[in-house]
Amino acid sequence: MDQREGDTVNNPQHFMAIMQVLGEAFLQPDISLFKQSLEILDNLNKKCKLYEKMISKCEMLTSHQRERLQENLGNNTDLPTFVQSLTMIVSDLRYYQLCNNSLPPGVISFD
């Protein structure tokens, strides 16, 4: 991702191939591979603000819900904290989507 161009990916096919390899690495039983993949994602997030961009693109969330998810990102300085934050974000996102989808249409507005 190029920070100067905001959300633009210079080579989307290459980026998606890398993300797919990382995703497959998480499914392997090798804990060192899992740790290495987390470190790569953490470095990518620090460099490109990957998670903030992903959260800002989540549809069907209120602005307050997006802000809460971004607060959960924090400034992680170690791998255990990073994993904990990432787990919390995924859990909260699922919760928000479940709650929002259960409400009758028009009860809340999405920004």
- pTM of the predicted structure, to 2 decimals: 0.58
Q: Each residue's pLDDT tens digit in the chain (111 positions)?
A: 444 445 566 777 888 888 888 888 888 888 898 889 888 888 888 888 877 777 777 777 888 888 888 887 777 777 788 778 888 888 888 898 888 888 888 777 776
70 within 8 A of 89, measured Cβ to Cβ: no
Write down the domain spans for the chain: 1-48, 58-111
Integer Cα distance of 40 and 81 in angstroms? 15
Compute and round to an integer the Cα radius of gyration of the chain: 16
